[in-house]
Amino acid sequence: MLKFKFIQLLVLIITAFIGCNSGSSLMRAWGEISYDGKAIEEGEIIFFPIEGTLGPSTGGPIKNGSYDIPAKTGLVSNGTYRIEITGLRKVKYIPGGSGGGPLTEVMQNFLPDSYNKKSNLILKVSNVTSENNRIFNLEKIENTKSRFPKITK
């Protein structure tokens, strides 16, 4: 009787394991990002699931023109994602306009909205890890409005 219970438990565990792993797995995604031919030195890339892809948004930092999203927080294999990319750089501005305060340095996104909040960049994730290495060469598009006017001195 004890042997029978052990076999039942073993079958239950194996069935649960197979069931948990039969769906989509998380995949690493990495690559390089440039804008107007220059590596984005600092920024962020975020992947938003679309078209029935299950799971939360994920992303990570861009450092020295590269990004790397590890599998443990990665993208669902065979999933489809909309991508938002921000590129940050230091700019100097005066809070409140001229005469409003001391000259201050802040980090500002220099990429146009068409690469972030209005992005149409789409990624279909492969179930083969080596195929998820992507290079984004973003073309320069004139940004219509800057949040912080750049001060040159």
Domains of the chain are 25-87+110-138 (2.60.40)
The mean predicted confidence, pLDDT, of the chain is: 81
Does the predicted model carry a pTM greater than 0.85? no
Show Cβ contacts of residue 126 under 8 Å, excluding neighbours closer than 6 positions.
Answer: 27, 77, 78, 132
* Rounded distance between C-alpha atoms, residue 4 and residue 12, angstroms: 12
Residue 49's closest CA among 17, 20, 23, 84?
A: 84
Q: Which position has the higher pLDDT, 41 or 102?
A: 41
- Is 17 a residue whose pLDDT tops 90? no
- Is 100 a residue whose pLDDT tops 80? no
Q: Which position has the higher pLDDT, 141 or 144?
A: 141
pLDDT of residue 15: 41
Stretch 42-68: mean pLDDT: 96
Strands 104-109 and 133-138: unpaired
Q: Which position has the higher pLDDT, 146 or 74?
A: 74
Which segments of the chain does DSSP mark as H helices, in order?
A: 2-21
